[in-house]
């Protein structure tokens, strides 16, 4: 048993500017990102809004975020526990889309990492 409760466990953090920021956990897609996948890419809305994403802020712009989109079912099938953005570095095979978006500006740039069947 780990009785040393006074010791802090290591938390995944990211240096942004001069500050240290904890990376966000997986969450629902931001409205701009989901809308882009449905309207621009023409994907099924029911499928798109069931996806999850992890993001991290860009160093030079606090309103621009790098984003990775994945399916929780695919992550579970591959026994991958998605904790934050960097936890997918070694598991890019479950990432469906990767790119960036800007909050408030409705700018979205996503690259499809879906493998074509056939």
Residue 117 banded pLDDT, cuts 50, 70, 90? very low
Evaluate whether residue 4 is within a structural domain: no
Tell whether the model's pLDDT for residue 11 goes beyond 60: no
pLDDT for res 62: 84
pLDDT for res 118: 37
Evaluate whether residue 20 is within a structural domain: yes
Evaluate whether residue 3 is within a structural domain: no
Evaluate whether residue 117 is within a structural domain: no
Evaluate whether residue 2 is within a structural domain: no
Evaluate whether residue 43 is within a structural domain: yes
Total number of domains in the chain: 1
Own/partner pairs, 82-90, CB within 8 angstroms, 24+ separation = 82/26, 82/52, 82/54, 83/12, 83/25, 83/26, 84/12, 84/23, 84/24, 84/25, 84/26, 84/54, 84/56, 85/23, 85/24, 85/54, 85/55, 85/56, 86/12, 86/23, 86/56, 87/12, 87/54, 88/54
Q: What is the pLDDT of residues 24-51, one digit of tens each?
A: 789 999 999 999 999 999 999 999 999 9
Evaluate whether residue 82 is within a structural domain: yes
pLDDT for res 97: 95
Evaluate whether residue 7 is within a structural domain: no
What's this model's pTM, rounded to 2 decimal places? 0.77
Which range of residues forms the domain containing residue 61?
13-112
The mean per-residue pLDDT over the stretch 44-69 comes to 92
């Amino acid at each position: 048993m780990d009785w040393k409760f006074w010791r802090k466990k290591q938390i995944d953090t990211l240096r942004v500017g001069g500050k240290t920021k904890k990376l966000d956990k997986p969450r629902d897609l931001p409205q701009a990102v989901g809308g882009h996948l449905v309207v621009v890419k023409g994907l099924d809305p029911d499928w798109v809004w069931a996806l999850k994403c992890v993001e991290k802020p860009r160093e030079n712009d606090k309103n621009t975020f790098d984003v990775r989109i994945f399916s929780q079912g695919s992550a579970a099938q591959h026994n991958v526990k998605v904790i934050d953005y960097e936890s997918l570095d070694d598991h890019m095979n479950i990432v469906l889309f990767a790119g960036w978006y800007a909050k408030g500006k409705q700018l979205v740039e996503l690259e499809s990492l879906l493998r074509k069947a056939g």
